[in-house]
Amino acid sequence: MYKLKIINSTVRPGRKGPIIASWVAELAKNSGKFEVEVLDLGEINLPLMNEPKHPVMRQYEHEHTKQWSAKIEEADAFIFVTAEYDHGYPAALRNAIEYLVHEWAYKAAGLVSYGGISAGTRATNDLKRDLLTMKVVPLSEQVNIPMFTQFIVDESVFNANDVSLKAADAMLKSIVRWTKGLKIIKEDQ
């Protein structure tokens, strides 16, 4: 089993990210391929980067950074669940990514985005570029959910349509395949 960290990017009150992250986590668990943990940036609440030394040095002074580092280091792969804010992904996610460098490297990343008509695709385009700088492999198989609120039931459950379910299945299969291959590359670093 691979250790999959699902990172929910939204932090503001009234956010819907945790609902979608829970849906993705359940699918991943049911696949039987992953040990799943959801990392909710709204609960983790990392302050704006406050480490005095550059993350490339791995000389962390703050306990919140040490805990974040350990969670990301132990991951074999990621799924980033993101909304689209002003044509990009949330600042809390960018901050969380920039806290670290080495811990991200040579791991596959699935992307799940949601929003209005654009389904969060502009956010994932920016996120892919930034993940590549951390040596994370963002996969082309991803889930993009347009007009997502129509699929939320009782303000707490995401009731996916067939399109989203098929996309999620393809993404999870791709994560397994890439993670298997990237383990060899990671061992060589």
Q: Beta strands 152-153 and 157-158: pairing type? A: antiparallel
Q: Average the pLDDT over 139-145 and give the result.
A: 97
pLDDT of 28 strictly over 80: yes
Q: Average the pLDDT over 42-69 and give the result.
A: 97
| CA separation, residue 12 to residues 81, 121, 158 (Å) | 14, 20, 19
51-64 pLDDT, tens digit per residue, is 999 999 999 999 99
% of the chain with per-residue pLDDT over 70: 99
Using a 10 angstrom Cβ sphere, with 0-12 exposed, 13-18 middle and 19 or more buried, the burial of residue 82 is buried
Residue 126 DSSP label: H
Range of lowest pLDDT (76-90, 120-134, 145-159): 145-159
70-120 pLDDT, tens digit per residue, is 999 999 999 999 999 989 999 999 999 999 999 999 999 999 999 999 999
pLDDT given for residue 149 in this prediction: 87
pLDDT given for residue 187 in this prediction: 84
| CATH fold for the domain made of 2-187 | Rossmann fold (3.40.50)
pLDDT of 155 strictly over 90: no
189 CA to centre of own chain = 23
Q: Beta strands 107-115 and 143-146: pairing type? A: parallel
DSSP 140-169: S--EEEETGGGGEETTTEE---HHHHHHHH
d(CA 89, CA 81): 10
Which token pair is 64?
Answer: 């919140």
Provide the residue type at 55 as one letter: P
pLDDT of 65 strictly over 70: yes
- Given phi > 0 = left and psi -120 to 50 = alpha, else beta, which region is 7? beta
Reference 24, options 139, 83, 112; nearest CA is 112
Using a 10 angstrom Cβ sphere, with 0-12 exposed, 13-18 middle and 19 or more buried, the burial of residue 120 is buried
